[in-house]
A and B are shown apart, each in its own frame.
Chain A
Amino acid sequence: MAKKNQEVEQTTEKNENEISLRETAGLSQGQIIFRRFVRHRAAMFSLFSIVFIILFTYTASGIHLGSEKNPITVPGWWGHTIEEIDVAGANANLCENGIPGCPTLDILPSFIDGTGMQIGPHPFGQESLGTDYFALVMRGAEQSIMVMLVVGLLGVAIGTTIGAIAGFYGGWVDAILMRVTDLFLVTPTLIIGAVIGFRFGNAGVFPLAIMIGVFSWMGLARFVRTEFLSLREREFVDAARVAGASNARIIFKHILPNAIGIIIVAGTLLLSGSILLESALSYLGFGVQSPDVSLGLLISHYQDTFTVSPWLFFWPGFFIITIALCINFIGDGLRDAFDPRQKRRITKKDREQAKAAAKAGA
């Protein structure tokens, strides 16, 4: 009996391996990665959430570009703007503890708290001047997402370029590029924020995003460099070289596809890191400057109100955490998808099927 069991077990493992193999048979690398990613439920859920959040916030508050003098604005579907003030309105809408500008959002149906579900004119409440907080949070999310994307794009672009060149060519090119990296690495972001805030505070969030991006590619560059250093010594690179491939071809066709996993993973870390960095800078007063808004600015401004008006810090906090969480899960999914050694998860169903097949075989 015991022997039989062992046999079944061995066959099961074999069948499990076969499941994995069968899954990937006849597919290109990209398709395999895509399939693996799609199967990562948390990552897929996060991907949908983040797309939804981006669409939601951008359509709610509209799109705001350009300078103060020549604003380019596409209005959103939400009726209030962040310029609106309504002190009397806020004072008329007191909470039970006497705090003005109470949120009107009520997600509890009437059989629980007596009042029906409703969104109301100011679902997230109003801040002290009566400005609609939903509009502020939406605009803040829009700005923070913009910062995040700009930082991410710049960081990945610069970091990959520098890291790839340094890692591939090595020697003095590597030495010089890495010292340039060090130079940027030691320059504190805080001081960049301070200078931007003081000198270009009027120019909006964009310069801040650019500057943060310009100063946040270093970790990624070091990752990519190490990966390139190790990949260029591999046999397939030698093979390509012997076959007469140019350096550019080797970099783009041979090494980069192999390093793309680490770039994407580090890139998602950079994205989720940048939204936190922005909030930290705003907390210290060196980030986004009022009257511009960002999630970081809102949460740092209202972080201590949780005993009296918790909604003011909860909503921006909710968006920061949700966005960062989603990005991290997407990164996790990508990591798993790109890892060639990673086995797909064998679900209980698969295992039972395999066992059944083994038993049937035995």
Chain B
Amino acid sequence: MFAYIVRRLGMMMVVVFGASFMAYNLEAYSSDPLAELQQSTAPNKQYLIERLTRDLMLDVPPPIRYFNWLKGLVAGLWGQFDLGMTRDKHSVAEYIGAAIPTTFRLVIGSTVLAIVIGITIGMVTAIRQYSRFDYSMTFVAFLLFSLPVFWVAVLLKEYLAIQFNDFLLDPHMTWPYIIAFSLFAGLLWASIIGGERRRFYAVFVGVFVGNAILLEVLSLTSWFIQPGLGIAGVAVFGGVIAVAVTQISTGLDDKKALYASLITAGLVVAAYYPLQLVMNDKASLLTVIALFAGVLVAAGAVGYFITKIDRRAIMRTAMLTGFLAMIPVVVDRFMQEFGAYYKSDAINGRPIPTMGQANQLLTPEQAHNFWINSLDGFTHVFLPTVALTLISFAGYVRFSRGSLLEVLNMDYIRTARAKGLTERTVIVRHALRNAMLPLTTILVNDFAGVIGGAIITESIFGWKGMGSLFNQAIGSYDLNLFMGVFIISSFLTVLANLVADLLFGVMDPRIRIRK
């Protein structure tokens, strides 16, 4: 196995070398760097043309120029790694070093969201195959699949930023909107929960009425510009989370697990006021991490002391509950900050921006306040994340649906059902795990595609990540920059393929990797 990996890595070098040669020459022949100067009427045009020719070595044929570039890369072997300079005289390495975190900040959130939402919906559609929900989700998934991202971005900016900001000037939702949203929510939940016709209508009416009342109350209390959950909201969320987690994890029949979860959620709610003191203006990311760690420990303890039987499962349930129940508390803390953020000079009443990574008008105090700073970062990352999630989660829906359906049709599932296991146990314990396996290879490949995948999104939202760097390099005939981005992304792609191959071999023992 080790020898195989070493050989694959060696081959990888050859592939990247070949591909880089090809890419270098293609790029070199893809545009004319002197075009702009030709239009100039400057008296020293000739000097500028000669200077550029010299600087970019335009008189040297690209295949030979390539080796000049390669020299810097090979020098990496003895530590003098040199990717060269960009056309605007910055080090390529510095450019890329700044771009990678940007891209990750942009893509990680949306990828995680897409995976979580996509797989959840995919599983639900598989379990409710050929239901109304399945049909509508299939349609929605394919629709999103078919949308160009730049188009999605334009629409999102229009409705989620510009019009939403306009709405916040008078944050009262009108009745047509309330009815429309409540209808949507009612249909959504009714079709997810499914069941007999009577139950369908009961859920629909319940959600519809509840939602309409909720939205009206939120409107009347100007909640949208002065949001918050309060201890009541946290308590409601905590209770729901406790029940839901228990239901999925062990089933509600396991009373001990249910009590452990409820006690954990209760602890979080009880700690609401003390926690407000901890989450003060001097808090940092570390504070939040510490809080979550604390909750996990406390929840673990609750689980541990409540029972001796099936301790691990119950502890797991309690900890998951604690973790999830803590989220509303933190979200509530951010919401408390929103009112002031919204009214501050920097925001000027328009909290959702359409571009950029951070608001440059924040005062130093605001910029140093963890809550405001994070809120600002969140509002900036919000639209691009939604855009990327929308276009990518559909794929996960389809993949996970197909994968779970395949597993559900297998004999061992039939056996499990025949044993009399509950449907919950069959799906959660038996089917899900095996259905997830093939998805890992897709995940690995998607990860590699991350760098190139956000070219359009990055440029539309004014983020300077790897994608827009790549676009910039091609547009401005910046060969060194182009090759820098190319090398990183091609290494990642080839590496991901290797990992995918290895994972595949591990997962399906019938496949032999030929030595």
Contacts from A to B (Cβ < 8 Å): 42, 170-171, 174-175, 179, 182-183, 185-188, 190-192, 194-195, 197-199, 222, 226, 229-230, 233, 272, 276, 279-280, 283-286, 296, 299-300, 303-304, 306-307, 313, 317, 320-321, 324-325, 328-329, 332, 335, 339, 341-343, 345
Tell whether B412 is near chain A: CB-to-CB under 8 Å: no
A339 to B409, CA, bound (A): 11
Residues of B within 8 A of A296 (CB): 148
B148–A328 contact, CB under 8 A?
no
Given contacts A186-B494, A304-B154, 11 further A-B contacts (CB under 8 A): A42-B135, A179-B11, A182-B15, A188-B470, A199-B30, A272-B145, A280-B148, A296-B148, A324-B146, A329-B142, A342-B409
CB nearest neighbor in A for B474: A194
Residues of A within 8 A of B337 (CB): none
Residues of B within 8 A of A332 (CB): 138, 142, 398
Residues of B within 8 A of A313 (CB): 151
Stretch at the interface among B65-73, B303-311, B485-493: B485-493
With A175-B11, A186-B15, A306-B154 as contacts: A191 and B27 at CB distance below 8 Å: yes
B471–A191 contact, CB under 8 A?
no
CB nearest neighbor in B for A233: B510
For window 461-502 of chain B, which residues contact chain A by CB distance below 8 Å?
A: 470-471, 474-475, 482, 486, 489-490, 493-494, 497
How many interface residues does B have (CB within 8 Å)? 56
A303 to B504, CA, bound (A): 41
B474–A343 contact, CB under 8 A?
no
A321 to B151, CA, bound (A): 11
A172 to B36, CA, bound (A): 49
Residues of A within 8 A of B490 (CB): 186
A272–B409 contact, CB under 8 A?
no
For window 37-92 of chain B, which residues contact chain A by CB distance below 8 Å?
A: none
B148–A279 contact, CB under 8 A?
yes
Question: What distance in Å separates the Cβ of B160 from its nearest Cβ neighbour in chain A?
Answer: 15
B146–A321 contact, CB under 8 A?
yes
A230 to B146, CA, bound (A): 32
- Which of A197, A284, A304 contacts B471, CB < 8 Å? A284
B27–A194 contact, CB under 8 A?
yes
With A186-B490, A188-B486, A272-B145 as contacts: A303 and B30 at CB distance below 8 Å: no
With A233-B510, A342-B409 as contacts: A190 and B504 at CB distance below 8 Å: no
A215 to B474, CA, bound (A): 18
B486–A325 contact, CB under 8 A?
no
Residues of B within 8 A of A283 (CB): 148, 150, 456
Question: What distance in Å separates the Cβ of A68 from its nearest Cβ neighbour in chain B?
Answer: 22
With A195-B30, A272-B145, A284-B471 as contacts: A190 and B455 at CB distance below 8 Å: yes
CB nearest neighbor in B for A170: B514
Question: What distance in Å separates the Cβ of B414 from its nearest Cβ neighbour in chain A?
Answer: 11
Residues of B within 8 A of A185 (CB): 493-494, 497
- Which of B22, B135, B398 contacts A187, CB < 8 Å? B22
With A179-B15, A186-B16, A195-B29 as contacts: A335 and B402 at CB distance below 8 Å: yes
B489–A186 contact, CB under 8 A?
yes
Residues of A within 8 A of B148 (CB): 276, 279-280, 283, 296, 299-300, 303, 317, 320
A192–B409 contact, CB under 8 A?
no
User: What are 8 A-B interface contacts by the 8 Å CB criterion?
Assistant: A175-B11, A182-B494, A187-B19, A272-B146, A303-B150, A304-B154, A317-B151, A324-B146
